[in-house]
Homo-oligomer: A and B are copies of this chain.
């Protein structure tokens, strides 16, 4: 699964090496959380020196930010044919809110967002907005299909699902699983989005 090793001994920081460091950072991040992640630990895990880390990233925040983005995965637009299917696929997939490592990273990084404005800006631009844009696109497509009423305020509805998931995970402290996601979709999102009569409370398949 690993890419063919370019140079076992000392691959320069040229993408491969950089990704190795980012992977190490993510491993440490997931293991101990953002606050307990130390640059020494990342350096040791990556068999790099702190000097190298600081040469490439100004701060711990910058390193973690880049690491998160590197693992966001290719944002693939889900296309199950129905809004419900798309939403569930998007949030319960490998990089969704039910992905433990993903939420762990999210939790870890929220810490940094609240204190480092530079990091926050970069994190929002590179990690968050692509995700939100994707969710918005899903709704737009459903509108084009006529599945969702045309006057739906997608900017308000799209963040609904991640909002609830994050709140449940971090604040309430309860797990975010597929059952919960489905419940929110069926009882909150779809009733708001779909024309009154067509509310597919069991709408796993679209009638068409």
Which residues does A use to contact B, with CB under 8 Å?
Answer: 33-36, 107-108, 110-111, 113-115, 120-121, 124, 128, 132, 153, 156-157, 159-160, 162-164, 166-168, 170-173, 183-184, 187-188, 191-192, 196
Complex contacts, A111 vs chain B, CB 8 Å: 35, 110-111, 114-115
Cα A183 to Cα B153 in complex, Å, equals: 10
Interface residues of A, dominant DSSP: helix
Chain B residues with CB under 8 Å of A120's CB are 173
Select which of B121, B153, B167 is within 8 A of A167 by beta carbon.
Answer: B167
Residue from the list B110, B121, B156 in contact with A183, Cβ < 8 A: B156
Contact of A168 among B110, B115, B159 (CB under 8 A): B159
> Is B192 a contact partner of A188 (Cβ separation < 8 A)?
yes
Q: A166's contact among B153, B167, B173, B183, by CB below 8 Å, is which?
A: B167
- Please give, as numbers and ranges, the residues of chain B lying within 8 Å of A34 by CB-CB distance: 114-115
